[in-house]
Structure 1
Amino acid sequence: MGGAVITVAESETNQISSTAKGETIQDAISVIDGYADVIVIRNPVTGTADRAAQAALHPVINGGDGSGQHPTQGLLDIYTIMKAKGRVEGLTIALVGDLKYGRTVHSLVDFFALYGCDLILASPEALKMPPEIVRNLRAGGINVKEIDSLKEAVADADVLYVTRVQKERFPIVAEYDQVKDLFIVDQDLLREAKEGMIILHPLPRVNEIALEVDSYPGALYFQQAHNGLFVRMAILALVTGSVL
């Protein structure tokens, strides 16, 4: 798009360089604000993007906020569904896997609520969607079904959104080991799927989608990743005033 990029990060900690030395995120962003027209921040600490936005005069784009939100991923997911299904309104969406720590699904449910989708939340008990999110969805009139069966989820879903169980979010590794292999999408499961169901995944995947599923016509997770390029180009164009 003709812009230049300044990368400011500590590769090992994924922290803004000066914050590794003790500088506050507010001060770091105030300095960066003088160098850039747009700030894109990805940080492992939930709430950092919001603090950055409060400190900056230029637009701040949240590129991933700990276990909180990932709105640009949500936008490209919606775009992928629109391209594949022709609409988002009225679809039944099954979100499966790590719904507790998965920031992508936390952003997505807000989008799906705007489109009036029916939601199936399928996960192990230890990885259920945070209850306050579920309460807000139901208070807004969204039909939400919480289950622990992957087979039941695919039987009714127009869209199966699979998430990785995020080892890095677990305080105790043994807890991760207990749930990492509970929800696996494979060819046997697809025999139970609703006709025309598409499969999405924010990537990277580990073992939650078997490689054999890549040949399934509705497996769109790599196209989904490619769509991220164009959606994020559009976001940059919008926040810089490059398009009306």
Structure 2
Amino acid sequence: MLKGRHLIDPMDFTLEELNEVFNLADQIIACPEEFAHTCEGKILATLFYEPSTRTRFSFEAAMLRLGGKVLGFSEPNSSSAAKGESVADTIRTVACYADIAVMRHPKEGAPKVASMYSDMPVINAGDGGHQHPTQTLTDLLTIKTVKKSLSNQTIGLCGDLKFGRTVHSLIKALSRYENNKFVLISPNELKIPDYIRREILQKNNIEFVEVERMEEVIDKLDILYMTRVQRERFFNEEDYIRLKDSYILDGEKMKLAKDDMIVLHPLPRVNEISYEVDLDPRACYFRQAKYGMFVRMALIAKLLGVK
């Protein structure tokens, strides 16, 4: 049972518990109207200390489609955080009014702190460059639905692998399934952190390679996961400008890929995927965004323990 649990890290749930969420998401996708009153009388608090469109809207839409209600803030200046209130005090106060909370925060570990002081379920919607577990659920549901399996895949991750929390979470999650291989495509300055390389990949004897050119490896991939180079993670504007156009996926590169390779992206994109790629049937990133709402509906229902 997932009732009352927190989701801070993609490893918080067992594979069996993840399957519970995915199976419920499949049911919601098949017949969403059957779930329109599932969370009547329940309130979701959205605590966003950092800008977001997709994640916040996705959570809010998920709760509203389940028949629940939403309250919250979308920037810290509109909350008591502007007065210096701690995360611990905020979450204890919000728990007086809501049944479940979702938090995005620029500081790594902030949602974990919130969960330690909260009697209601807390969901991490992204903490700095650390984790983004519900994006990972979105990614896994998309792969499971489109590729029919979460095992035996060769996954290329391209772009900002150093600061990209979606990448870190996805590597951790897909490492738990059998016979997955990773191709890590990035400039030297944006390689994955040592702790991911050492503690997840090397420690578990998972096959991976690191390359700098997408063209060298795109023909070997079953999944290509694109990411943007994130301006907000850079201290030096010159470094950002130099690296932001390192990898752009266009129609010519897509010609080199397998016919059944799929392209994913957590969005928003800047210019790392050309608009011409949107017309390619292998482009799945907008389907991925929709699956995100369905998997969050399933997650909310499970954590609240509603029928």
Q: TM-score, normalised by structure 2?
A: 0.76
Q: From 120, 140, 152, give the equivalent of 1:90.
A: 152
Query: 1 CA distance for matches of 2:288 and 2:211?
Result: 26
Matched, 1:75 2:137: yes
Secondary structure, counterpart of 1:58 in structure 2: coil
Instruction: Tell me which amino acid in the other structure corresponds to 1:124.
Output: P
Query: 2 CA distance for matches of 1:205 and 1:108?
Result: 18
Query: 2 CA distance for matches of 1:146 and 1:34?
Result: 48
2:94 corresponds to = 32
- Give, in angstroms, the shift of residue 236 of structure 1: 0.1
2:214 corresponds to = 150
Q: From 211, 228, 244, give the equivalent of 1:164.
A: 228
Q: From 2, 5, 8, give the equivalent of 2:73.
A: 8
2:161 corresponds to = 99
CA contact (8 A) 1:134 1:144 kept: no
Query: 1 CA distance for matches of 2:276 and 2:77?
Result: 37
RMSD (Å) for aligned C-alpha atoms: 1.2
- After TM superposition, list the pairs within 5 Å mapping 1:1-244 onto structure 2: 1-9=66-74, 11=75, 14=76, 17-116=79-178, 117-136=180-199, 137-243=201-307
- Give, in angstroms, the shift of residue 41 of structure 1: 0.4
- Give, in angstroms, the shift of residue 16 of structure 1: 7.1
- Give, in angstroms, the shift of residue 216 of structure 1: 0.9
Instruction: Tell me which amino acid in the other structure corresponds to 1:101.
Output: F
CA contact (8 A) 1:40 1:61 kept: yes
The gaps in structure 1 that reach 5 residues or longer are none
Q: Structure 1 segments of 4 or more deviating over 4 A?
A: none
Query: 2 CA distance for matches of 1:171 and 1:18?
Result: 27
Structure number with greater CO (CA < 8 Å, separation at least 6) is 2
The gaps in structure 2 that reach 5 residues or longer are 1-65
Secondary structure, counterpart of 1:6 in structure 2: strand
Query: 1 CA distance for matches of 2:280 and 2:234?
Result: 32
- Give, in angstroms, the shift of residue 27 of structure 1: 0.9
- Give, in angstroms, the shift of residue 195 of structure 1: 2.9
Query: 1 CA distance for matches of 2:188 and 2:219?
Result: 20
Query: 1 CA distance for matches of 2:78 and 2:133?
Result: 20
1:14-53 Cα offsets, whole Å, 9 max, x none, are: 4671111111111111111111110100112211111111
Query: 1 CA distance for matches of 2:198 and 2:219?
Result: 25
Secondary structure, counterpart of 2:217 in structure 1: helix
Identity of aligned residues (%): 45
Instruction: Tell me which amino acid in the other structure corresponds to 1:128.
Output: K
CA contact (8 A) 1:158 1:198 kept: yes
- Give, in angstroms, the shift of residue 163 of structure 1: 0.3
Query: 2 CA distance for matches of 1:65 and 1:120?
Result: 25
